């Protein structure tokens, strides 16, 4: 049976995963981040794909809000790190 991971519906961070292995994914950073029961479990590849998409969406938001370039660079670093996990 493949390992399943439950991601936060807001930030795509890991809320829970089957097993205790270090999966290298981003954790949930939400103050109210907990499993609510409606999240769809995904496999590791699906989790990586969703986390990269979430980082790209953050870059779009940060660019639109004209935030400091460092915020965008941090997202780009996370994308690069996640791509290496794939």
Map out the domains of the chain as residue ranges: 5-85
Q: Please give the residue that has the higher pLDDT: either 23 or 29.
A: 29
pLDDT at residue 30 above 80?
A: yes
Share of the chain above pLDDT 70, in %: 93
pLDDT reported for residue 1: 41
User: How far is it, in rounded angstroms, from Cα 57 to Cα 59?
Assistant: 5
The pTM assigned to this predicted structure is 0.88
User: How far is it, in rounded angstroms, from Cα 26 to Cα 7?
Assistant: 10
Give the burial class of 29: count Cβ atoms within 10 A of its Cβ; 0-12 exposed, 13-18 middle, 19 or more buried: exposed
């Amino acid at each position: 049976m493949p390992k399943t991971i439950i991601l936060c519906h807001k930030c795509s961070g890991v809320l829970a995963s089957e097993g205790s292995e270090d999966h290298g994914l981003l954790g949930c950073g939400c103050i109210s981040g907990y499993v609510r029961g409606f999240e769809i479990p995904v496999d590791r590849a699906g989790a990586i794909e969703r986390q990269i998409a979430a980082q790209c969406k953050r870059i779009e938001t940060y660019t639109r809000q004209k935030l400091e370039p460092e915020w965008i660079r941090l997202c780009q670093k996370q994308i690069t790190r996640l791509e290496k996990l794939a």
